[in-house]
Chain A
């Protein structure tokens, strides 16, 4: 089908105003928050209903055109970048909260609902949708589901997958399913469990039943300042091990403190080597005693200063500093590369020490703002994109951090996903057979590989080749010259 025909067909499906075909306008969709690799889509459609999405998918399937689902485009791993062009299905217009069923603690929403707006909408009912990534004021629930997003409060309450009850999906063949009726358990294979976090490679989410969590009766937030990272890290381990069960446990290093200090007038001593933000929640009974134990633990490990945020306003200010820390980096450097990795919690000090060495090695400052309670690191490599040497060094530094995380028994993404950014690192973490199992699963949904091609699986040997290897009945070890995990 030629382009003109395709445009005409799509306009018939979604309406003339919901098809973007202007070259300048298409540039917006060349990438998401990961701007290392830009590819323009052939077209963008903005459907309003599940039926429209299904019709678009059927059309694309007939013409064998790739499809890339897109929420707000805030992803950091290139998950929404149309690597092979094709049709981007943006969920921008599907932004309704359809039903709040407070009695059963669930809500039915469209994928384009903004994460923050959903929680604002639910607050008067006394509920929240727990996942709260730093991008929550812009990112969509559909994007959260596709990436199994996290956020600070996942420490206590789990990531997005724990908060999804059912998905309505348009599958790659254009059919529409609800994965379940939204009750607690299902029989058969856990399709929504597999689809959550599948990075838009298995279909388009068009509706979801999400789990609602009652807002806690009381919260306490404390900001503790430490002379260095190791003392703060030990505090993290102890707070977790002693069973304080904090709702969030976040860390910032010296460079990050400097950045947010200026922006939020927190008046933090810039001599501090690390700041910990600890939130406790639950019923009010016993919470102040727990707070006292937590602040005591901070002091035991050498905290220079412990500041409880007493009023909701003070708490909000501390949280704003944390959640907008990435933005505050603009005060330090024109660009940054945010790396997302996870290590076992006890390996935090060693990993952070290595991050410090990497900074020295590649002569680029690295700030750290991260979910310490989960062991989820976010080194921010500061550089100037206009300087080619700096860009190259930033990529090398990121590579060194990822390798170190694997070395420490960790993984290469805690909440941002693999996308295109980290696809070639997958072989460092998984064997060929591990990846082939994932590829086989993906092909059950999308045999023609039209959905978000070029993601998650390594570029050298994509999903199709892995799945074919698997079906040939050969184990990776049997294929001469390709020992498991050796073909990066």
Chain B
């Protein structure tokens, strides 16, 4: 364990002292699963970040990167935590040539701020994760976050074209570039995306952008039975329509959003006005054919607000007491069964499940009561992670394929095990 004062004094030589904190009260907001770091620091540049990690290595300090802090309930409690490195001052738009539809930004930029920056250019980075005002680009990349519109636009995995990281020990390295197509060497972007801050700290990222769609409309279709909703989705999946989001919402999710009913599908279309109209007409007809109890077309303001709130249903930041958020991954065709199993699981454990599912991607987010035996959650189909404050959660589901290779990669990039130790899959 590194002495906080010694580390803080050393750090204050490379970053302005007011951005180095070793006072336990000042460090308390950066606790992870109740563990308060000895120090926090907010470097202002790539070079400062590199200097911080070099010092951290010299002092043998365990480091956790911190963007908006919206996903720190994911992952195990840290095995060691000496220093939280905050990316809040690495939040600049570094390069943006609107006509190229590419952008380079600091990792600490919240995605909501990026959205606002791009709006006057009529451009977008089409990811709609929870809590956009706080969630940063670096954190979203590190946790491979998604949002309902991934059906139409994918995740940051597909949009990331270049990356700058600082590896443990302070080595700066880059991958990719500022072009939309690139096979010059290994795809290092893929390595860091979803690596949970265990290989390097992301300092900046380059993305391809899209023009804002000319039109966007949402259809909210309510059903008496989940079976009817999933039958409609199956039929929709077979058409040549291209909705950009198709979210299944169960009764508890609908209630949270202020709607009544037993379940619903929120279906979004974006693009040319005539094409969006066609989607609305065809999807409404499909819904009717599948006995929807009501179909409501939302106007522009309503739909923007609704999607922000749907995205927030899968936030893992402020979970009610004794609840856990799980992510389950399967195939579109298995999702109906998964949803039924989750409802049954919640009932068995004396509560209710709140579910939003990226149904045509095969992904379910469910907020559940914590079972008496938290490990029981591991039985849920396709459990990818469980986030929450309860101890002993099955944080990362089952051991992934290729685990030995992953351990080798970890040893190569962070040989001393300083980056987010203990937080990711056990053994990494």
Q: Does A188 contact B (CB under 8 A)?
A: yes
Q: A441 contacts B240, CB within 8 Å?
A: no
Q: A241 contacts B98, CB within 8 Å?
A: yes
Contacts A285-B277, A414-B183 hold; do A430 and B174 have CB atoms under 8 A apart? yes
Contacts A179-B402, A189-B409, A289-B274 hold; do A346 and B240 have CB atoms under 8 A apart? no
Q: Does A301 contact B (CB under 8 A)?
A: no
Contacts A158-B154, A194-B190, A444-B405 hold; do A286 and B275 have CB atoms under 8 A apart? yes
Q: A443 contacts B412, CB within 8 Å?
A: yes
Q: A180 contacts B400, CB within 8 Å?
A: yes
Instruction: Tell me how far the C-beta of B70 lies from the nearest C-beta in chain A, rounded to whole angstroms.
Output: 18
* Per-residue B-contact encoding for A235-267, CB less than 8 Å = 1, 0 else: 001001111010000000000000000000000
Instruction: Tell me how far the C-beta of A225 lies from the nearest C-beta in chain B, rounded to whole angstroms.
Output: 23
Q: A375 contacts B185, CB within 8 Å?
A: no
Q: A241 contacts B158, CB within 8 Å?
A: no
Q: Within the assembled complex, what's the spacing in Å between the Cα atoms of A441 and B167? A: 13
Contacts A161-B190, A282-B271, A283-B278 hold; do A191 and B402 have CB atoms under 8 A apart? yes
Q: Does B329 contact A (CB under 8 A)?
A: yes
Which chain B residues numbered 402 to 425 have a C-beta less than 8 Å away from chain A?
402-403, 405-406, 408-409, 412-413, 415, 425
Q: A344 contacts B184, CB within 8 Å?
A: no
Q: B330 contacts A183, CB within 8 Å?
A: yes
Q: B173 contacts A431, CB within 8 Å?
A: yes
Q: Within the assembled complex, what's the spacing in Å between the Cα atoms of A415 and B182? A: 7
A-contacting 9-mer, from B3-11, B21-29, B107-115, B191-199: B191-199
Q: A241 contacts B99, CB within 8 Å?
A: yes
Q: Does B308 contact A (CB under 8 A)?
A: no
Q: B183 contacts A416, CB within 8 Å?
A: yes
Residue among A148, A158, A243 with the most chain B CB within 10 A?
A243
Closest 10 CB pairs of A and B: A193-B190, A286-B274, A243-B211, A188-B400, A285-B278, A286-B272, A217-B240, A342-B179, A437-B173, A285-B274
Instruction: Tell me how far the C-beta of A312 lies from the nearest C-beta in chain B, rounded to whole angstroms.
Output: 16
When C-beta atoms are compared, the residue in chain A nearest to B169 turns out to be A473
When C-beta atoms are compared, the residue in chain B nearest to A203 turns out to be B405
Which chain B residues numbered 365 to 414 have a C-beta less than 8 Å away from chain A?
382, 384-385, 396-397, 400-403, 405-406, 408-409, 412-413
Q: What is the number of residues of chain A that contact chain B, defined by CB distance less than 8 Å?
A: 92
B-contacting 9-mer, from A2-10, A322-330, A384-392, A405-413: A405-413
In the complex, chain B residues whose CB is within 8 Å of the CB of A191? 401-402, 405-406
Q: Does A185 contact B (CB under 8 A)?
A: yes
When C-beta atoms are compared, the residue in chain A nearest to B155 turns out to be A185
Q: Does B171 contact A (CB under 8 A)?
A: yes
Contacts A188-B425, A193-B190, A243-B122 hold; do A437 and B275 have CB atoms under 8 A apart? no
Contacts A190-B157, A190-B193, A342-B181 hold; do A148 and B187 have CB atoms under 8 A apart? yes
Q: Does B363 contact A (CB under 8 A)?
A: yes
Q: Within the assembled complex, what's the spacing in Å between the Cα atoms of A118 and B242? A: 23
When C-beta atoms are compared, the residue in chain B nearest to A280 turns out to be B272
Contacts A197-B183, A283-B241, A442-B186 hold; do A183 and B331 have CB atoms under 8 A apart? yes
Contacts A189-B409, A286-B272, A344-B100 hold; do A374 and B180 have CB atoms under 8 A apart? yes
Residue among A147, A430, A434 with the most chain B CB within 10 A?
A434
In the complex, chain A residues whose CB is within 8 Å of the CB of B174? 430-431, 434
Q: Within the assembled complex, what's the spacing in Å between the Cα atoms of A431 and B296? A: 55
* Per-residue B-contact encoding for A459-485, CB less than 8 Å = 1, 0 else: 000000000001101010000000000
Residue pairs across A and B with Cβ atoms less than 8 A apart, 14 shown, are A104-B333, A126-B240, A159-B183, A177-B405, A182-B331, A186-B400, A241-B99, A342-B180, A342-B181, A344-B179, A345-B99, A414-B179, A429-B177, A433-B172
Q: Within the assembled complex, what's the spacing in Å between the Cα atoms of A344 and B170? A: 30
Q: A410 contacts B332, CB within 8 Å?
A: no
Q: A183 contacts B329, CB within 8 Å?
A: yes
Q: Does B86 contact A (CB under 8 A)?
A: no
Instruction: Tell me how far the C-beta of B105 lies from the nearest C-beta in chain A, rounded to whole angstroms.
Output: 16
Q: B275 contacts A438, CB within 8 Å?
A: no
Q: Does A39 contact B (CB under 8 A)?
A: no
Q: A342 contacts B182, CB within 8 Å?
A: yes
Which chain A residues numbered 420 to 439 have a C-beta less than 8 Å away from chain B?
422, 426, 429-431, 433-438
Q: Within the assembled complex, what's the spacing in Å between the Cα atoms of A242 and B384? A: 39
When C-beta atoms are compared, the residue in chain A nearest to B95 turns out to be A409
Q: B362 contacts A184, CB within 8 Å?
A: yes
Q: B185 contacts A243, CB within 8 Å?
A: no
A101, A184, A216, A344: which contacts B97 (Cβ < 8 A)?
Answer: A344
Instruction: Tell me how far the C-beta of A234 lies from the nearest C-beta in chain B, rounded to whole angstroms.
Output: 10
Q: A438 contacts B188, CB within 8 Å?
A: yes
Q: A415 contacts B183, CB within 8 Å?
A: yes
In the complex, chain A residues whose CB is within 8 Å of the CB of B178? 344, 409
Q: A184 contacts B190, CB within 8 Å?
A: no
B187, B277, B327: which contacts A194 (Cβ < 8 A)?
Answer: B187
Instruction: Tell me how far the C-beta of B284 lies from the nearest C-beta in chain A, rounded to whole angstroms.
Output: 15
Q: Does B175 contact A (CB under 8 A)?
A: yes
Q: A104 contacts B331, CB within 8 Å?
A: yes
Which chain B residues numbered 74 to 118 have a C-beta less than 8 Å away from chain A?
97-102
Further contacts, 12 of them, CB under 8 A, given A287-B272, A342-B177, A345-B101: A150-B183, A154-B181, A182-B331, A186-B384, A187-B396, A188-B428, A190-B191, A426-B184, A431-B173, A433-B173, A437-B413, A444-B409
Instruction: Tell me how far the C-beta of A198 lies from the nearest C-beta in chain B, rounded to whole angstroms.
Output: 6
Q: Within the assembled complex, what's the spacing in Å between the Cα atoms of A182 and B127? A: 22
Q: A429 contacts B184, CB within 8 Å?
A: yes
Size bracket, chain B contacts: 35 or more
- Chain A residues with CB under 8 Å of chain B are 101, 103-105, 126, 147-148, 150, 154, 158-159, 161-162, 171, 177-191, 193-194, 196-198, 214-217, 237, 240-243, 245, 282-283, 285-287, 289-290, 342-346, 371, 374-376, 409-418, 422, 426, 429-431, 433-438, 440-445, 456, 470-471, 473, 475
Contacts A185-B146, A214-B240 hold; do A410 and B179 have CB atoms under 8 A apart? yes
In the complex, chain A residues whose CB is within 8 Å of the CB of B279? 283
Q: Within the assembled complex, what's the spacing in Å between the Cα atoms of A438 and B412? A: 11
Q: A436 contacts B157, CB within 8 Å?
A: no
Instruction: Tell me how far the C-beta of B248 lies from the nearest C-beta in chain A, rounded to whole angstroms.
Output: 15
Q: Within the assembled complex, what's the spacing in Å between the Cα atoms of A242 and B259? A: 37
Q: Within the assembled complex, what's the spacing in Å between the Cα atoms of A243 and B332? A: 30
When C-beta atoms are compared, the residue in chain B nearest to A414 turns out to be B181
Q: Within the assembled complex, what's the spacing in Å between the Cα atoms of A194 and B362? A: 23
Residue among A158, A181, A409, A441 with the most chain B CB within 10 A?
A441
Residue among B170, B194, B382 with the most chain A CB within 10 A?
B194
In the complex, chain A residues whose CB is within 8 Å of the CB of B401? 177-181, 191
Q: Within the assembled complex, what's the spacing in Å between the Cα atoms of A321 and B172? A: 46
Q: Does B361 contact A (CB under 8 A)?
A: yes
Instruction: Tell me how far the C-beta of A57 lies from the nearest C-beta in chain B, rounded to whole angstroms.
Output: 15
In the complex, chain B residues whose CB is within 8 Å of the CB of A435? 185
When C-beta atoms are compared, the residue in chain A nearest to B185 turns out to be A438
In the complex, chain A residues whose CB is within 8 Å of the CB of B239? 214
A162, A409, A429: which contacts B158 (Cβ < 8 A)?
Answer: A162
In the complex, chain A residues whose CB is within 8 Å of the CB of B272? 282, 285-287, 289-290
When C-beta atoms are compared, the residue in chain B nearest to A214 turns out to be B240
A240, A414, A438: which contacts B186 (Cβ < 8 A)?
Answer: A438
Contacts A242-B211, A414-B183 hold; do A441 and B188 have CB atoms under 8 A apart? yes
Contacts A188-B403, A190-B157 hold; do A286 and B273 have CB atoms under 8 A apart? yes
Residue among B146, B158, B186 with the most chain A CB within 10 A?
B186
When C-beta atoms are compared, the residue in chain A nearest to B215 turns out to be A286
When C-beta atoms are compared, the residue in chain B nearest to A432 turns out to be B173
Q: Within the assembled complex, what's the spacing in Å between the Cα atoms of A482 and B94? A: 28
Instruction: Tell me how far the C-beta of B148 lies from the nearest C-beta in chain A, rounded to whole angstroms.
Output: 13
In the complex, chain A residues whose CB is within 8 Å of the CB of B331? 101, 104, 182-183
Contacts A148-B187, A180-B401, A441-B186 hold; do A158 and B158 have CB atoms under 8 A apart? yes
Q: A411 contacts B182, CB within 8 Å?
A: yes
